[in-house]
């Protein structure tokens, strides 16, 4: 009963988000509302919960937690388990939110010093399709190093300096989501899911790259080849004749270096990515404050000095609705995960007699609807294959690239959706078919050459 109700809440909220272009209500509102309703129902009606997924082990716990009707568990016991699960998921979500705030602020600080205008010369293409090709390839390799979420933020800031056409920017954003997710799928630090597989001793670095690089590249190459024949990418690129501002080169390299520092700190010192991103932000903010050389006088204490600070300016530009939307989506999915829906979905497909490879393929398409993090976490608990088994490489590819099929299927897509105001239906009509075709071609190549 509870499962059906929460699924209904998710589907209804999902449809409301996807039709934002019709009712003109910001997608943040239904996202936060369905998060509150989902967890509120769990707290109000714990007696209707028939199973529970232990967030620490990703295993279903039944009678021992008091969620089976014939078990005489006390209400305080049930409430304690729900509260601990919410705290667990909130802490994991907060890590992503803090990382996102740090990355978005750092990008805005770099933009304050015209860093992305300096990089414009790297993408000085006269042809629109060639510009798209250059942007996507750069995003593909950049996301493998700094992760797909951060790469998307950086690339959006870059192409915004190149083109001012709103329609073209939507198309560029859609393709960059595909490129960033594809680039993150073949790197152990390029996506949260591949990092989970790496840390969980399911894959090692070299086999992961060797097995998934070509399929990931194909998942991007196919949409790019089709884009060559689309009208939006025909003709000359007017921005190629614009003068290039090279004054922000120092800030560009400093910012890129700080972004690269985050995965290095994670690999060498085991510092969580969100902590590394906060450190990167602090270093750049300190540089920014020193460079602007702000001077305070006693006579100025009554005036508003915050606009003089590049850090304060950058924080004011951070897309708070996007962050809240992200919070709502992740915690709503965690509610579905907590009642075992995600786990049972995977078990049902597995029990249908499907091969592991086909199961992973379906899982990738499912990740375009439901967040790939709980899907991967649940799948890791379903199988006992040894490290570097082909199944784990299939999982890395499908979970990473499958999120591109829908705009809300990946962190990169959610961020692009918020920043560029991409509607769910626009992405579904224009980008989703290309992403799905690329996903299938990459999957077939992975299947044939394993």
pLDDT digits (tens, 9 = 90+) for 32-51: 999 999 999 999 888 888 77
Q: At what angle do helices 166-185 and 148-162 cross, to 10 degrees?
A: 150
In this structure, the number of other CB atoms found within 10 A of the CB of residue 206 comes to: 9
Q: Which two tokens stand for residue 328?
A: 């709502």
> Which residues does 17 contact at the CB level (< 8 Å), separation at least 6?
27, 30, 31, 408, 424
Nearest to 181 by CA among 434, 445, 444: 434
pLDDT attached to residue 72: 40
In the chain, % of residues over pLDDT 70: 85
The answer to whether the beta carbons of residues 405 and 141 sit under 8 Å apart is no
Give the C-alpha distances (Å, rounded to integers) separating 52 from 48, 78, 86, 244: 11, 10, 12, 57
pLDDT band at 284 (very low <50, low <70, confident <90, very high): very high
User: Above 80 in pLDDT, residue 94?
Assistant: yes
H/E element holding 53? strand 52-54
Q: What is the average per-residue pLDDT within 24-39?
A: 89
| pLDDT at site 62 | 55
User: Which percentage of the chain shows pLDDT scores above 90?
Assistant: 23
> Using 50, 70 and 90 to split pLDDT, how confident is the model at 438?
very high
Distance CA 133, CA 64 (A): 55
Look at residue 70 and tell me whether its pLDDT is greater than 60. no
Stretch 290-313: mean pLDDT: 61
Q: What is the CA radius of gyration of the chain?
A: 23
Token pair in block for residue 46: 């714990």
Q: Is the pLDDT of residue 278 over 90?
A: yes
Cβ atoms < 10 Å from Cβ of 11: 12
pLDDT for res 219: 95
Tokens of 27: 């997608």
Top-confidence range, 12-26, 67-81, 415-429: 415-429
- Average pLDDT value over all residues in the chain: 81
Q: Phi/psi at 27 (nearest 5 deg)? A: -60, -20
CA 253 to chain centre: 24
The pLDDT value recorded for residue 298 is 40
Q: Which residues contact 349 (CB under 8 A, 6 or more apart)?
A: 359, 362, 363
Q: Between these two residues, 253 and 221, which has the higher pLDDT value? A: 221
Bigger pLDDT: 159 or 182?
Answer: 182
Q: What angle separates helix 205-227 from helix 128-146, to the nearest 10 degrees? A: 160
The rounded distance, in Å, linking the Cα atoms of 266 and 186 is 18
Res 171 pLDDT > 90: yes
Q: Does position 441 have pLDDT exceeding 60, yes or no? A: yes
CA 249 from centroid of its chain's CA atoms: 28
Query: 318 with 418: CB under 8 angstroms?
Result: no
pLDDT of res. 433: 94
Mean local confidence (pLDDT), 139-165: 84
What number is the average pLDDT over the span 284-296? 79
Using DSSP's 3-state secondary structure scheme, residue 234 falls into coil
29-38, 106-115, 421-430, range with greatest mean pLDDT: 29-38
pLDDT at 323 (0 to 100): 83
Mean pLDDT of 350-362: 79
Q: Which of 153-162, 286-295, 423-432 has the lowest mean pLDDT?
A: 286-295
* pLDDT at site 76: 75
Give the lowest-confidence range in 4-13, 139-148, 233-242, 388-397: 233-242
Burial grade of 304 (CB within 10 A; 0-12, 13-18, 19 or more): exposed
The answer to whether residues 237 and 131 touch, using CB atoms and an 8 Å cutoff, is: yes
Query: Quick check: 329 and 373 in contact, CB under 8 A?
Result: no
> What integer is the mean pLDDT of 405-420?
84
pLDDT at 71: 33
The C-alpha atoms of residue 38 and residue 36 are separated, in whole angstroms, by 6
Task: Flag whether pLDDT at 302 surpasses 50.
Answer: no
């Amino acid at each position: 009963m509870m499962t059906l109700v929460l699924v209904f809440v998710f589907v209804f909220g999902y449809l409301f988000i996807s039709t934002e272009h019709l009712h003109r209500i910001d997608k943040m509102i239904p996202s936060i509302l369905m998060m509150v309703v989902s967890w509120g129902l769990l707290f109000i009606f714990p007696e209707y919960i028939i199973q529970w997924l232990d967030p620490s082990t990703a295993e279903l716990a039944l009678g021992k937690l008091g969620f089976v009707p014939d078990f005489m568990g006390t209400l305080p016991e049930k409430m304690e388990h729900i509260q601990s699960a919410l705290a667990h998921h909130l802490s994991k979500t907060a890590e992503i939110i803090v990382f996102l705030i740090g990355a978005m602020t750092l990008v805005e600080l770099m933009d304050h010093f015209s860093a992305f205008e300096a990089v414009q010369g790297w993408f000085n293409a006269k042809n629109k399709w060639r510009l798209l090709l250059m942007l996507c390839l750069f995003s593909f390799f950049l996301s493998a190093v700094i992760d797909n979420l951060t790469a998307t933020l950086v690339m959006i800031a870059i192409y915004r300096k190149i083109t001012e056409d709103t329609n073209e920017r939507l198309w560029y954003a859609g393709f960059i989501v595909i490129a960033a997710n594809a680039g993150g799928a073949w790197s152990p630090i390029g996506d949260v899911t591949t990092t989970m597989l790496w840390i969980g001793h399911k894959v090692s670095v070299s086999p992961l790259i060797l097995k998934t690089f070509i399929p990931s590249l194909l998942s991007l190459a196919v949409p790019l080849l089709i884009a060559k024949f689309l009208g939006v990418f025909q003709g000359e690129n007017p921005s190629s004749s614009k003068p290039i501002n090279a004054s922000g080169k120092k800030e560009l390299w400093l910012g890129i270096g700080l972004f690269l520092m985050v995965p290095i700190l994670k690999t060498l010192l085991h510092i969580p990515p969100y902590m590394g991103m906060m450190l990167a932000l602090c270093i750049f903010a300190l540089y920014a404050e020193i460079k602007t050389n702000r001077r305070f006088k006693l006579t100025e204490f009554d005036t508003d000095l915050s606009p003089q600070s590049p850090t304060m300016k950058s924080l004011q530009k951070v897309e708070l609705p996007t962050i809240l939307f992200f919070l709502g989506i992740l915690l709503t999915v965690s509610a579905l995960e907590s009642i075992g829906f995600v786990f049972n979905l995977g078990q049902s497909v597995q029990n249908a007699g499907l091969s592991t490879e086909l199961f992973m393929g379906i899982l990738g398409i499912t990740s375009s609807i439901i967040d790939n993090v709980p899907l991967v976490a649940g799948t890791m608990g379903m199988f006992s294959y040894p490290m570097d088994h082909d199944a784990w490489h299939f999982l890395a590819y499908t979970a990473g690239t499958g999120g591109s099929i829908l705009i809300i299927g990946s962190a990169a897509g959610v961020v692009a959706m918020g920043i560029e105001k991409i509607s769910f239906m626009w992405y579904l009509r224009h980008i989703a078919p290309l992403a799905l075709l690329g996903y299938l071609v990459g999957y077939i190549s992975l299947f044939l050459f394993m």
